[in-house]
Structure 1
Amino acid sequence: MHLGITFGQLNPRAFEEVAVAADELGYESAWLPEHLVFPLRVEGELIPGEEHPPVPPTVPIFDACAYLSYLAARTAHLRLGTLVYLLGIRHPFVGARAFATLDVVSGGRAICGVGAGWLRPEWDAVGIDPSTRGARLDEAIGVVRRLWTEPEIAHDGPHFPFEPVAFEPKPVQVGGPPVHVGGESARALRRAATLGDGWLGMAHTPATAAAQVGRLRALAEEAGRDPGAVEVTVMGEVGPGSDLGAWEEAGVDRLIVTPWRRSRDAVEGLTRLAAELGLAPGSARAPDGTSS
């Protein structure tokens, strides 16, 4: 079981301090939310059936891979991912370049967490029909993987056609950073099961996670894939005396935790939880499965 943290529950002024502490304490990964822009009008569902509450348009947004590249220089073991990056709202050249750079400067610690996006006016703002966001993401996933692995690439898809190009440098990780697909909808689960190296879920309990994992595995089998090859990441809580066994039984491979209520208490909360769970510096597994 991997343990990760998210910067989504932190004041940006605490990002660096918390990342360094998590790295030293033995947490496996850190995840940065991402948007291109926040429109003044909020419309869309992050969780199926639930209209997203208003988001102040002045919420600070950073270029995710640029910020994570900075944190890569401040950490040694922590894997660095996005939760989630809107790959389809940009040309795949942009996303592929950003994650290749992050992977190189981090020594192979990048995780490309992507999603179709819930904030429909964000797509309107850049002049893209929101109804195409799923199709654009599906196509973009295939394109970035080719850019990360092939010496020369041309593409004739409906959204991102281009003539032959070269793309260097290639990422450190063979095949490129793993692509994890976020979302709780049936379409997001199917995308993760058919195209993803992993699935990124929202806040869960072991019981609700198990239900979604069951659907995910069935979809993977239907697509002819090994269900165990799709890594499962969800957000959830663990407390004193927790052995993580219930999460493992639910099929969860990585649990993203936020053991704090205020940003100024985050390092203390991470330290306390690490002691309770017996984490140790360097205990997280590296991309090849060895200790990092």
Structure 2
Amino acid sequence: MKIGIGLPTSLAGTAGEDVVGWAVRAEEAGFSTLGTIDRLLHTSWEPLTTLAAAAAVTGRIGLATSILISPLRSNTALLAKQAATVDRLSGGRLTLGLAVGSRPDDFEAGQVEKTGRGARTGTQVTELRRHWADAQAGREPSVGPAPVRRNGPELILGGHSPAALRRAARLGDGWIGGGTGPVMFAQGAQSLRELWAEEGREGSPRLVALAYFALGEDATKHTEGYLRSYYRDAGPFVEHILRGAADSVGKLRGIVGKYTEAGCDELLLMPCSRDLDQVTAAAAVLGLLG
């Protein structure tokens, strides 16, 4: 299983130099991917803009929106252009993770209708691929630039509902489970594999997951503070998220082991502290530093 790490762009007080330094150190430490999460009404940074900056200071590490709330980007042609631009900047390193979003306040602030967002996301996936194919074929007029990767960036779709899993099996290159823990991930992954086969898809879907972490003396303080803020409107679900957060060396190793057993292809460790030493500490615990 590959191990990636999230950028600290949803943590209050993060500066540009923090993000650039984090990206450089994560690549040096041997992580597979840099991830970003997405909210509108939060201090979190815009994911594709952030990944463009990360692309400029790295040369190997993957870049992933994990995830991007695609219905909030109602201009799909513009989204296709933005994603293709990051893909070109990074030499084809972009994975575009998409999901429908759930927070009503994000949709209210974005003046986007929340109802019907699942169907609209499915349509967006089809339109994104059409725009990228037209650009790569050199058709005129088309929305450019042409992505580097054949058929465009890898598209990983999120969500745990039956409709979301079916959409991922039908339209995606794989599925990304949120930070809900390895048990729920394993259940979703098994459903996704079965639906993938029902859809007559060849090969195997790529399976990705998130896990929150912080290490060091104040690790529990950081995980409590950040996750209670980010999931402040999630009700009792925040307690489930907190129980699954890795706030010690032992818990981090245990969580990685459980996701490996669940058949996860790549686990993205999302930080609850913006201290740059978190990158090196996690890499050392997981043996990524060689």
Equivalent runs, 1:140-219 vs 2, <5 Å: 140-151=124-135, 165-219=141-195
- Superposition deviation, residue 181 in structure 1: 0.8
Matching of residue 111 in structure 1 with residue 95 in structure 2 = yes
1:247 Cα shift? 2.4
Q: CA deviation at 1:135?
A: 1.2
SS of the equivalent of 2:146 reads coil
Q: 1:3 matched to which residue of 2? A: 3
**TM-score, with structure 2 as normaliser:** 0.76
Residue 19 of structure 2 aligns to which amino acid in structure 1? F
Moved more, 6-15 or 109-118: 6-15
- Stretch deviating more after TM superposition (235-244 or 73-82): 235-244
Alpha-carbon distance between aligned partners in 2 of 1:181 and 1:10, rounded to the nearest angstrom: 24
What is the distance in 1 between the residues matched to 2:108 and 2:180? 31
Q: Write the letter of the residue equivalent to 2:160.
A: E
Q: Partner of 1:194: helix, strand, or coil?
A: helix
Please tell me whether residue 277 in structure 1 is matched to residue 286 in structure 2: yes
Tell me, which stretches of 5 or more residues in structure 1 are unaligned? 39-58, 154-163, 282-292
- The answer (yes or no) to whether the contact 1:152–1:167 under 8 Å persists in 2 is no
1:263 Cα deviation from its structure 2 partner: 2.0
Q: CA RMSD in A?
A: 2.6
After superposition, what is the alpha-carbon deviation per residue over 1:185-231, rounded to whole angstroms, capped at 9, x for unaligned?
222211111111121111244333222211111111111124x5311
Which of 79, 91, 102 is the equivalent residue of 2:75? 91
- Structure 1 residues 10 and 123, CA gap change in structure 2 (3 angstroms): closer
The residue type paired with residue 117 of structure 1 is G
8 Å Cα contact 2:80-2:143 kept in structure 1: no
How far apart in 1 are the matches of 2:134 and 2:49?
Answer: 24
- Structure 1 counterpart of 2:205, from 230, 236, 239: 230
Identity of aligned residues (%): 30
Equivalents in 2 of 1:137, 1:183: separation in Å? 12
Tell me the amino acid that sits aligned with residue 70 of structure 2.
Answer: L
Q: Is the 8 A contact 1:3 1:27 kept in 2?
A: yes
* 8 Å contact kept, 1:112–1:180: yes
* Structure 2: distance between partners of 1:128 and 1:142: 20
Indicate which of 14, 21, 25 corresponds to 2:25.
Answer: 21
Q: 2:114 corresponds to which residue?
A: 130
Cα contact 1:152–1:166 (8 A) shared by 2? no
Aligned length in residues:
246
Q: CA deviation at 1:280?
A: 4.4
Paired with 1:246 and 1:122, the residues of 2 have a C-alpha distance of 33
2:261 aligned residue (228, 233, 249): 249
Provide the C-alpha distance between the structure 2 equivalents of 1:66 and 1:245, rounded to a whole number of angstroms.
Answer: 33
Greater share of helix: 2
Partners in 2 of 1:125 and 1:206 — Cα distance? Answer: 32
Unaligned runs of 5+ in 2: 212-245
Letter in 1 for 2:126: G
Deviation at 1:61, TM superposition (A): 4.0
